Homo-oligomer: A and B are copies of this chain.
Amino acid sequence: MSLNRQDVVRAAVDVLDRYGLEDLTMRRLAGLLGVKAGALYWHVTNKQTLLALVSDEILQELDDASRLRPDADPTAVGSQPDTGLAEGVRRWAGQFRAALLRHRDGGEVVASTLPVGLGRVDPAAEVSAVLARYGFSSHQRRYGSRALVHFILGHVIEEQTRSQLHELGVVAQFDGRAEEEDFTDGLELLVTGLRGLSADGTADPSRVENAEI
């Protein structure tokens, strides 16, 4: 009969998908749950932590997806020695982006929660683990994962915002295909950079064992 935290978070994701972040208000959320706004504060401490929970919910789907099909990637080729690194990063990036795109304003929600560090799921930590497998130092993992996360979040936020402005008729053209292409090609710049670290021996794959993740 009575609500719990999970109900509130799931309803919040629902409001997000239907009305967007701007209209995700405590009052509207309460209304959808058949309750008064004040009641929500029994389940969550405030709106910011609710958004962090929503962010976790969005990112959780990334983990779930990668657990279901751990090696399914048609774009995998495999000839250079560093193709494992490159493919690992590409796969993670694609899944991260897909998880964000699955929900309206997903990029903005996750981005707003990231620096606060309230979320249980940290996307930067996830790529960090990938980089660790290829011998990257802790400093390299930190700035490398940050660069990747910032690029992806920034790209998705711009894509989602522009797509919504397009639906509102505010902005003329929006090409989803071009967005995906820009994303893939932009990502490749970072992949090249990371591969460079690996190639010049700055990151040493032979030291993988003693890498503290």
Contact = CB atoms under 8 A, between A and B. Distances in A.
A192 to B, nearest CB: 4
A158 B188 CA distance: 23
Nearest to A161: B115
Contact of A186 (B114, B143, B154, B192): B143
Interface stretch (A12-20, A73-81, A145-153, A204-212): A145-153
13 contacts: A115-B161, A116-B161, A116-B165, A116-B170, A143-B181, A143-B185, A144-B189, A147-B155, A150-B150, A150-B155, A189-B196, A192-B192, A193-B193
Task: Kindly report how many copies of this chain are found in the complex they form together.
Answer: 2
A186 B127 CA distance: 14
Nearest to A185: B143
Given A142-B182, A146-B155, 10 more contacts: A143-B181, A143-B182, A144-B186, A146-B186, A150-B154, A151-B151, A153-B154, A188-B193, A192-B196, A193-B193
A171 interface: yes
Contacts of A153: 150, 154
Interface string A107-133: 000010011110000000000000000
Interface residue range, chain A: 35 or more
Interface of A: 111, 114-117, 139-140, 142-144, 146-147, 149-151, 153-155, 157-158, 161-162, 165, 170-171, 181-183, 185-194, 196-197
A96 to B, nearest CB: 13
Nearest to A158: B115
B190 A147 contact: yes
Q: Which 7 A-B pairs have the closest CB atoms?
A: A150-B154, A189-B193, A147-B186, A115-B161, A192-B193, A143-B182, A143-B185
Contacts of A170: 116
